[in-house]
Structure formats: structure tokens, C-alpha cells
Amino acid sequence: MNPERLPRGAGKNGLNRIPGIKSAALQDYPLQSAACLTPRSDVVIIIIRQNKLKQATSIHHELQERKKSGFQQYRFLTIGDKGLAFFLKYEIITSLFGNFPGALGFLFRRMFFNRLVKGAGKSIIWGKGITLRHPHKIEVGNGAAVNDLVVLDAFGDEKSGIELGEQSLISRNTVLNSKGGFIKIGKRTNIGTNSVIFSRDCTVSIGNDVLMAAFGYLMGGGDHSMERTDIPIVHQGAQCKGILIEDNVWLGAGVRVRDGIKIGRDSVIGTNSYVNSDIPPFSVAAGIPAKVLKKRV
């Protein structure tokens, strides 16, 4: 049998008034919902229509709310709310020159990729296969190098963005993703291969002369709320505090840093450590979780 539709008014706050339903526990549910009853009055099928959570920026939520065509969704993901002229420029430049080989490709990308980003210094190196999303919110300083297959994704409102300092290096296969947040990479800082820096509605700031070895992971704003058990964790929002890595820090290969952490200047974090508390300046720390082993001064 097909499920019967609920009477008008028996939606989000009306489920508890339906005979046979003890409690729907939806009073504080951060979503809009509709519901229907199966022939058994004690079984409720909830059909969820998701809203954007105030605590966090989500591509999934944005696309659901906008109800756009596939082409409009693609355009929104790549350039946001920029106009058609910018979209056409973006498509032409990335399609023609994004994977162009050899020295000519290097010259073409330097010439044309600089026209897509918000700000571009001199002598920038753009590798092959780079993904630029919302490039009008990305700034790249003099002499910076963005290696092959890097993703620079500045998704979010106009407050979000990515800033690469002068002579910084973003190594191959690395992902910088600012979902409504801001990522700042300092001067002469080296981000190793296959690393991920994520900023969800907060700021992740890495100072000058920082060495972040391969497979590092900085998770800004990914601490999901989980107090309730009657709704999925993914719908409960997330706390967003940010991460600060001060000048002249060395993060060994595979280091993970959670949201809300500050690592003081001139510190060293050992390979595969998990940093879940602040590290004072001039410290050598390692472990899961990372503990200070000695001081450098």
C-alpha cells in the first residue's frame, strides 16, 4: 500500500499530536521536514529538505537550496556569483592552457592564470592540471609556485579566500579548501606533497618560513557537534575556531592538527603526530596526542 499523507498541520511540530506517535523529537531539528504515515500508525517516514546551517558553509546545502540546473550548479561551484563574461574567460583559459605541456604551457599559464585571480605578483609558477575554484578570491604573491595537480578552492562568500605569500611553495597534489573561511600562507613557506589545509568558516593562518612536510592535514572548523542522538551528526553543525601556525615551524610528514590549535614559533612537530593542544614556542613535540619532549632554547 502507498503511505497515507499526513493531514495539514501535522508537519514539523504536529507529529507529536498524531495518534500512535509518542514522540518525534523534532522540535529543535535544524531542518525543514515533511512526513507521511505508513498503514502502521507507529511508523513514520520523514522526508527531509535540508537548509543551510548558520554554523557552517556547505557546498551540498548551497546546491540544494538554489535548485539550479546542472550547468548553473557547475558555474556556481567554479566561479560563484560572478557574471557570464568571467565564466567564459575562466572556461577558455583553464581549458586551453590548464594542461598545456612544456615551456609554452608554463608561459601561457603565467600570462593567463594571473588574469583569473584576485591578485597576482611577478614570476609566479603555475603547474599543470591545477584546479582553481572561485579564483577571484585567491591572491598569489611574487615568486610563489603552485605545483602540478594542486587544488585552490576558495568556495564561500566574499569574506572567504586564499592568500599565498611571496616565494611560497604549494607542492604537487595538495588541496587548499576554504569553505567560507580564509587560508593564509606566509612568505617562503613550503607546503609538502599531498597535504590538505581545510578552513570551514574560520581562519587557518600559517606564518613565514614554515616547513610542512608531505601528507600533512590542518583541519580548521571540522569539529562537528554530536550532543543529540535523534538526528544525524552531519545536521548538527560544527564549531569553527581556526588554526594558527607561527613563523619558522617544522611539521613532520603526516602531522595532523585539529581545529582551535596554536603552534608557537620555532617549534618542531614529529612525524605522524596528532596535535590536539597548543604547543608553546621553541618546543619539540611528538606523539598521539603530541606532547612536548624538550625545548629548543
Q: Which of 275, 276, 277, 269 is nearest to 253 (CA)?
A: 269
For 224, list phi and psi in degrees, rounded to 5.
-70, 140
In the prediction, which pLDDT does 70 show?
A: 84
Q: Which residue has the cell 590538505?
A: 196
- Is the pLDDT score of 201 beyond 60? yes
3 state DSSP class of 216: coil
The domain limits of the chain are 59-295
What DSSP element (H or E) covers 105? helix 102-112
- Is the pLDDT score of 290 beyond 60? yes
Q: Which of 197, 194, 195 is nearest to 178 (CA)?
A: 197
In the prediction, which pLDDT does 58 show?
A: 56
Lowest mean pLDDT across 5-9, 170-174, 210-214, 246-250:
5-9
Show the cell assigned to 20.
500512535
Show the cell assigned to 171.
607542492
For 256, list phi and psi in degrees, rounded to 5.
-110, 135
What CATH number was assigned to the domain covering residues 59-295? 2.160.10.10
- Is the pLDDT score of 130 beyond 90? yes
Average model confidence (pLDDT) for the chain? 83
In the prediction, which pLDDT does 56 show?
A: 45
| Spatial separation of the C-alpha atoms in residues 266 and 263, rounded to whole Å | 9
DSSP code of residue 277 = S
**What is the mean pLDDT of the segment spanning 86-95?**
97
105 close to 128: Cβ distance less than 8 angstroms:
yes
Q: Which of 105, 215, 119 is nearest to 161 (CA)?
A: 119
In the prediction, which pLDDT does 87 show?
A: 96
In the prediction, which pLDDT does 68 show?
A: 72
pLDDT band for position 226 (cuts 50, 70, 90): confident
**Which pLDDT tens digit goes with each residue over 141-200?**
999 999 999 999 999 888 899 999 999 999 999 999 998 899 999 999 999 999 999 998
In the prediction, which pLDDT does 65 show?
A: 59
Count of helix runs (H) and strand runs (E) in the chain? 4, 28
What DSSP element (H or E) covers 206? strand 203-206
In the prediction, which pLDDT does 57 show?
A: 46
E strand intervals along 66-130: 119-120, 125-126
In the prediction, which pLDDT does 67 show?
A: 67
| Residue type at 237 in one-letter notation | G
**pTM, full prediction:** 0.79
Q: Which of 53, 7, 6 is nearest to 29 (CA)?
A: 53
Q: Produce one character per residue of 106-131: b if its CB has 16 or more CB atoms within 10 Å, e if not.
A: bebbbebbbebbeebbeebebbbebe
**Vertex 190 angle, CA 185 and 195, to 5°:** 85
Q: Chain centroid to CA 144: how far?
A: 21
How far, CA to CA in Å, does 272 sit from each of 181, 221, 256, 286?
26, 21, 7, 8
